[in-house]
Amino acid sequence: MKRVFLTAALVLLLFTGCATSKGNVYNVSLYKAVAPEDGVTYVVGHRNPDTDTVSTAIAYATLRSKLGFNTVAVIPGKLNKESQFVLDYFKVETPEILEDATGKNIILVDHADFQQAVPGMDKANIVEILDHHQPAGLSFENNLVYRSAPIGATATMLYNEFKVNHVSVDRKTAGLLAAAIMSDTNNLKKERTTEADRVYLAELCKKAGIQKPKKFFKMMKAEGRSLDGLTDEEILLTNYKEYEFSGHIVGIASVDNPDDDDTLWEFAERMDKALAAYASKTDAEHIFMKLDADGDEGQEDFTVFLYSGNGAEEVAKASFPAAQTVNGHIVCTPKLNRTNDVVPALKNTYEGMAK
């Protein structure tokens, strides 16, 4: 992967500033500083897009367009069922797919990692990044605006951009952002959820006309958990990301068990085969999947941790030494979170292997 020198302008979230008729003067100055002299700038999220990455791309293109910048939202691939449900619900047209980023002006949202990006991203002109994950150690030769915050959803950061720039949010955009915050925070239940996520979600639901947020979230999740018509590989890729840990390319998928506990182990065996089959199509050395399941009444929810690849079992067991073995599978209780639990644990294991 090409590495170039870092000269990026690292910019924190701005909650105050002088306003003009066309937005916050400081922010607009930053947009202008990195804007290409001609041509369109594309906003795109990570591969195997989820609701946060899709909604944020569409909303950011809307914001920048209102501020006078030629900006278009695109998606990096086919939408999952939850994201498509959200766009259909708010009658928002599905953006076109960006197959190759080579030579294009790009704004990255919800990721800052070439491993998760559209092909050709290392040869693109990246002008801005808006993300809520840990930086992936990228370097760039050009100046860019980089916003990163430890917050529940990228959509929360973006709604703040509307506020800072004094740009109103229409019903459709509010709906997309509200759905994104719900999706990425599990309706405000995830550990990394912040007060900003809570306050902004309430504001966005009001603007979007979502009178019963819990009911709407259940509708989203029910649609997202539906696997009707999907192949096992498509199920695997519904929420799949690749990472680089100490030189190892690692794929991590996240799937909810679609049925009751009686079929969990049958479904786990299907996913074992899907991981093994997909391994031959990717550069990933190891592929893992966290298969989340609901516990019986009075019991905690749990994760069945699947793996594929030579040495993957040893890595999995070393990463989660307190896990139990049930029906030949690694079971972790309580349920694992990919960002907070799986990624740090695997990263530590691979770093230990490199020493």
Low-confidence winner among 131-140, 187-196, 275-284 (lowest mean pLDDT): 131-140
Domain range enclosing 34: 9-219
**124, part of any domain:** yes
Question: Are both 197 and 319 inside the same structural domain?
Answer: no
- The residue-averaged pLDDT of 162-174 equals 96
Q: What pLDDT score does 33 carry?
A: 81
For 299, other C-beta atoms within 10 Å of its C-beta total: 9
User: In this model, does residue 181 exceed pLDDT 80?
Assistant: yes
Question: Are both 215 and 236 inside the same structural domain?
Answer: no
Which residue, 219, 241, 267, sits at the end of a domain?
Answer: 219
Q: Which structure tokens are listed for 131?
A: 């993300």
Question: Are both 214 and 242 inside the same structural domain?
Answer: no
For 317, other C-beta atoms within 10 Å of its C-beta total: 15
pLDDT in tens, 76-112: 998 988 999 999 999 999 999 999 999 999 999 999 8
Q: What pLDDT score does 14 carry?
A: 37
Low-confidence winner among 5-9, 72-76, 113-117 (lowest mean pLDDT): 5-9
Q: Which structure tokens are listed for 204?
A: 């966005």
**226, part of any domain:** no
**Tally of structural domains, the chain:** 2
Is residue 211 packed enough to be buried (19+ CB in 10 Å), middle (13-18) or exposed (0-12)? exposed
Q: Which structure tokens are listed for 295?
A: 């516990």
**31, part of any domain:** yes
Cα distances from 171 to residues 59, 67, 90, 143, 162, in angstroms, run 11, 18, 8, 34, 13
Answer for the pair 252, 240: CB distance below 8 angstroms, yes or no. Answer: yes
- The residue-averaged pLDDT of 138-160 equals 87
Q: What pLDDT score does 91 carry?
A: 97
Question: Are both 44 and 140 inside the same structural domain?
Answer: yes
**Per-residue pLDDT band at 136 (split at 50, 70, 90):** low
User: In this model, does residue 19 exceed pLDDT 50?
Assistant: no
Mean pLDDT over all residues of the chain?
87
Q: What pLDDT score does 4 carry?
A: 36
Question: Are both 285 and 175 inside the same structural domain?
Answer: no
Q: Nearest 10 degrees: CA dihedral of 119, 124, 127, 132? A: 20
Q: Which structure tokens are listed for 5?
A: 């020198």
Is residue 66 packed enough to be buried (19+ CB in 10 Å), middle (13-18) or exposed (0-12)? middle
Q: Which amino acid is at 150?
A: P
**Per-residue pLDDT band at 3 (split at 50, 70, 90):** very low
Coil, helix or strand at residue 42: strand
What percent of the chain is predicted at pLDDT more than 70? Answer: 90
**Per-residue pLDDT band at 21 (split at 50, 70, 90):** very low
Q: Report the residue count for the chain.
A: 355
Question: Are both 73 and 175 inside the same structural domain?
Answer: yes
**200, part of any domain:** yes
Cα distances from 72 to residues 6, 193, 202, 239, 252, in angstroms, run 26, 29, 27, 24, 29
Q: What pLDDT score does 297 carry?
A: 67
Residue recorded with tokens 């917050």? 151
- The residue-averaged pLDDT of 213-242 equals 89
Q: Is 300 left (phi over 0), alpha (psi -120 to 50) or beta?
A: beta
Q: Which of 101, 190, 171, 138 lies closest to 6 in space, CA to CA?
A: 138
**224, part of any domain:** no
**Per-residue pLDDT band at 18 (split at 50, 70, 90):** very low
Answer for the pair 300, 325: CB distance below 8 angstroms, yes or no. Answer: no
Cα distances from 277 to residues 227, 251, 282, 329, in angstroms, run 19, 13, 10, 18
Which residue, 198, 219, 240, sits at the end of a domain?
Answer: 219
**Per-residue pLDDT band at 259 (split at 50, 70, 90):** low
Instruction: Report CA 309 to chain centroid distance, whole Å.
Output: 25
**32, part of any domain:** yes
User: In this model, does residue 8 exceed pLDDT 80?
Assistant: no
Question: Are both 142 and 208 inside the same structural domain?
Answer: yes
DSSP for 181-221, please give it: HHHHHTTTTSTT--HHHHHHHHHHHHHHT-S-HHHHHHHHH
| Cβ-proximal residues to 11 (8 Å cutoff; 6+ apart), any chain | 30, 145, 146, 147
Q: What pLDDT score does 27 carry?
A: 85
DSSP 273: H
Q: What is the pTM of this model?
A: 0.74
What percent of the chain is predicted at pLDDT more than 90? Answer: 62
Q: Which structure tokens are listed for 71?
A: 């900006």
User: In this model, does residue 12 exceed pLDDT 70?
Assistant: no
Question: Are both 251 and 124 inside the same structural domain?
Answer: no
Which residue, 161, 194, 219, sits at the end of a domain?
Answer: 219
Query: What is the Cα–Cα distance from 340 to 303, expressed in whole angstroms?
Result: 14
Question: Are both 176 and 71 inside the same structural domain?
Answer: yes
Question: Are both 67 and 185 inside the same structural domain?
Answer: yes
pLDDT in tens, 186-218: 899 888 899 999 999 999 999 999 999 999 999
Query: What is the Cα–Cα distance from 186 to 208, expressed in whole angstroms?
Result: 19
DSSP 261: G
Question: Are both 169 and 271 inside the same structural domain?
Answer: no
User: In this model, does residue 147 exceed pLDDT 70?
Assistant: yes
Question: Are both 38 and 105 inside the same structural domain?
Answer: yes
| Cβ-proximal residues to 29 (8 Å cutoff; 6+ apart), any chain | none
User: In this model, does residue 9 exceed pLDDT 80?
Assistant: no
CATH code of the domain covering residue 157: 3.90.1640.10
CATH code of the domain covering residue 344: 3.10.310.20
